[in-house]
Amino acid sequence: MLVVMAKKTTRTSSTAQVTSDSDAPLTVPGLPTETGHAVADALQMRVHALNDLALTLKHAHWNVVGPHFIGVHEMLDPQIDGVRDMVDTLAERMSTLGVAPNGLAGALVAARSWDDYDLHRADTAAHLAALDLVYSGVIEDHRAAIEAVGDDPVTEDILIGQTADLEQFQWFVRAHLQGTSGALVTEGATAELSAARKASRKR
């Protein structure tokens, strides 16, 4: 399976004595060093994706308006906290495996394959519809990462637990977008703005 990895910043020789992003010459006991480093490298994009998700959720938290404002506004904060904890867990796992995690904004923007979130001030239905698509992308990539790190069951277990939590967060979001039939009012939408328009029209 092809794993998209973040680009590592090239350091000049003048900084090499002060700081380095090169891999450590070790990893956890029981794994070959090369395998441990490959697993850690696979986690870097998950760190970027989750950092971006936390920022996106906070952005929506600040910009949501209209009916059910307080419920949605307050629902998002625990999700933000949960996602930030996931970032910390994965970054620390990378360090444990011998690879320096990169949590810098510039590295995130350079490595990501997705665009910024499309909504600013918008009603609750619009933000929830857009966030549903954001969650789908993150969850799909987390599931792909589970397969990619299969040589390390410890890392695999971490990602499985995080995926379960992300799926529950998405369930909270989707519950606002479903009718009694269970169908999403945004069915068929593949872009954040089109999903937001569909959800807003259903109000």
The tens digit of pLDDT for each residue in 101-152 reads 999 999 999 999 999 999 999 999 999 999 999 999 999 999 999 999 999 9
Closest CA relative to residue 189, chosen from 142, 136, 117, 141: 136
196 half-sphere exposure, CB direction, 13 A CA radius: 18
| In the predicted structure, residue 8 carries a pLDDT above the cut 60 | no
CATH among 1.50.10.20, 3.40.50.300, 1.20.1260.10, 3.30.70.1400 for 29-201: 1.20.1260.10
Task: Return the structure tokens found at 166.
Answer: 């992300």
Of 98 and 12, more confident: 98
In tens, the pLDDT along 147-198 reads 999 999 999 999 999 999 999 999 999 999 999 999 999 999 999 999 999 9
- Residue 3 or residue 165, greater confidence: 165
AA identity, residue 22: S
Three-class SS state of 143: helix
Q: Give 65's DSSP letter.
A: E
Q: Where are the domains of the chain?
A: 29-201
Query: What is the pLDDT averaged over residues 20-49?
Result: 97
